[in-house]
Structure 1
């Protein structure tokens, strides 16, 4: 048989001397016997990263049509455009929610139950979009008023990675609260990959939030952030330690990340760890390592932290 004109067969012929049968068999043994890690031991459809990227693109177009959709829309066409984007996004989202739910339930549910729950979650998510947009507008305004280099709201929407990250986070947080945690984490990772900003979808962030520059910002799962907070690049709001249970396994879900109250500014490179509170109106300087509560109105600098360490 001549395989020279068939790329797939040619590839097989070229690798025939490599003993791939043995490799395939070894991988099957690892996958099915020695290191089987499938959820409940079953093969299931996973949520699709590519599908969710398209969903996010359409949701952003529905939220801000002329910035992320079509640049030329009229009063007669804009609602039709928004409706078409939502219809396309939500029909795909419902299926992705269904797939993700399988990996989050304690007790197995059949596909009909999962599909019904996914429909409810998707519908409730859709009805939250107007409120999500309202909060996002406050974030955009905070960026415009907080950055002297910002020339317009359009520049912020089109060019600021912190704005992209918070749009994705608000969508992911809604999914997380509605009971779709795996899909929410996937949205968060898509945002992280595109912006360099890592926000856990469970983090609670109030309105008028601004991340300036943004690269390297990390916000942990149980973080609580008040209104009108500004972070700069390389800020970490993380956990100080990870408690373990009697069996030695990590205790999950306990509050372990900071509480940042209203009107706080945290400058570049600061690391804030543990369940501590940064009081309202405080300013945390660049490269500060902070592991204790800070009263309202504090101004913490690196020099002050070094002084505390030498006392």
Structure 2
């Protein structure tokens, strides 16, 4: 290849480098030092360490027994505390930078929030065990509760949601969304960590389920694949006004929502013990003990017409 062409190409690359560097200077900081940004790989490590602590008998590679379990949990919790404290502090410092504030003016609180999170883990496990029971009792394909824990993508997504939700409740920025987006990428189930979900929650199959930030879901609710609990579309200029208002529906206790149903709006309430059929589109509330189904389509069964083979002349 001629040397002249090589020089020309590298000159073009240099102009792209300059453009990208200028966006750093405009949007980040004047100080060229490293940004205090939470690390995705560390957040994922924290997520799976937490899952091992909640269910060591399923996800730990250690040879556990009744004599060494407390030592194992103590070591794992100590590491979780250190790792999570660091990432929380990085998240708050980076948030301050994005808001044009001094990241050092706010005292570090990672240790305090990490400890508060860890103290909530027994309650998180209690809720998850109710979710396991709901899946096992609600799905004849589940041969054991252990199969639900090991294999069900819906339970994986719910586990990650319940972990992330505790950090969301503590006001930790970035980390909860990083966690639930990991679940989204693995399972196709998108649960915002800000959603409020009661106990005994079951997502059957799960692919394509979307649950928005201000959704409220009661106890013993079951969703099937493709369900959307979302917000109504709004004009661009109204987005900021609605950012901190309820935009997603409320689903009361013991509701079943079948595949590909879409329920939208912050004022929409699905009353307790209701059943929403597949492919239903709802933007208005329904009272308790209601069934909502599409009218059965009319089927036409016709014989298939095929061309007759040409007759052979004899």
TM-score band by shorter chain is 0.7 to 0.9
Q: Which residue of 2 aligns with 1:280?
A: 272
Instruction: Give the distance between the partners of 1:245 and 1:26, measured in 2 at CA.
Output: 30
| Structure 1 residue 16, shift from structure 2 partner | 5.6
| Structure 1 residue 216, shift from structure 2 partner | 0.6
Instruction: Give the distance between the partners of 2:246 and 2:29, measured in 1 at CA.
Output: 27
| Structure 1 residue 243, shift from structure 2 partner | 6.1
Task: Give the structure with higher Rg (CA).
Answer: 2
Q: Which residue of 2 aligns with 1:121?
A: 113
| Structure 1 residue 84, shift from structure 2 partner | 1.6
Query: What secondary structure does 1:262 align onto?
Result: coil
Instruction: Give the distance between the partners of 2:276 and 2:131, measured in 1 at CA.
Output: 21
Does 1:268 pair with 2:255? no
Q: Which residue of 2 aligns with 1:147?
A: 139
8 Å Cα contact 2:35-2:94 kept in structure 1: no
Q: Work out the number of aligned pairs and report it.
A: 287
Does 1:257 pair with 2:248? yes
Does 1:25 pair with 2:18? yes
Which deviates the most, 65-74 or 89-98? 65-74
Measured against aligned partners, the alpha-carbon deviations of 1:125-158 in whole angstroms (never above 9, x if no partner) come to 0101111111111111111111111011111011
Q: Which residue of 2 aligns with 1:38?
A: 28
Q: How does 1:1-311 map to 2 (within 5 A)?
A: 18=9, 19=11, 20-32=13-25, 36-38=26-28, 44-70=35-61, 72-104=63-95, 108=101, 110-111=103-104, 113-115=106-108, 117-242=109-234, 249=240, 251-275=242-266, 276-303=268-295
Shift in alpha-carbon separation, 1:134–1:40, aligned structure 2, 3 A? farther
Q: Which runs of 5+ in 2 are unaligned?
A: 298-314
Measured against aligned partners, the alpha-carbon deviations of 1:162-205 in whole angstroms (never above 9, x if no partner) come to 11111111111100110103111111111111111111111000
Query: What secondary structure does 2:51 align onto?
Result: helix
| Structure 1 residue 209, shift from structure 2 partner | 0.4
8 Å Cα contact 1:47-1:96 kept in structure 2: yes
Instruction: Give the distance between the partners of 1:71 and 1:153, measured in 2 at CA.
Output: 22
8 Å Cα contact 1:282-1:298 kept in structure 2: yes
Measured against aligned partners, the alpha-carbon deviations of 1:19-68 in whole angstroms (never above 9, x if no partner) come to 23333223223443xxx333899862211110111111111110000111
Instruction: Give the distance between the partners of 1:285 and 1:41, measured in 2 at CA.
Output: 56
Instruction: Give the distance between the partners of 1:25 and 1:184, measured in 2 at CA.
Output: 34
Query: What secondary structure does 2:117 align onto?
Result: helix
Query: What secondary structure does 2:284 align onto?
Result: coil
| Structure 1 residue 15, shift from structure 2 partner | 6.5
| Structure 1 residue 277, shift from structure 2 partner | 0.2
**TM-score if structure 1 supplies the norm length?**
0.85
Measured against aligned partners, the alpha-carbon deviations of 1:216-252 in whole angstroms (never above 9, x if no partner) come to 1000010000000000111000001336668x74531
8 Å Cα contact 1:243-1:251 kept in structure 2: no
| Structure 1 residue 102, shift from structure 2 partner | 2.5
Instruction: Give the distance between the partners of 1:112 and 1:65, measured in 2 at CA.
Output: 39
Q: Which runs of 5+ in 1 are unaligned?
A: 1-13, 306-311
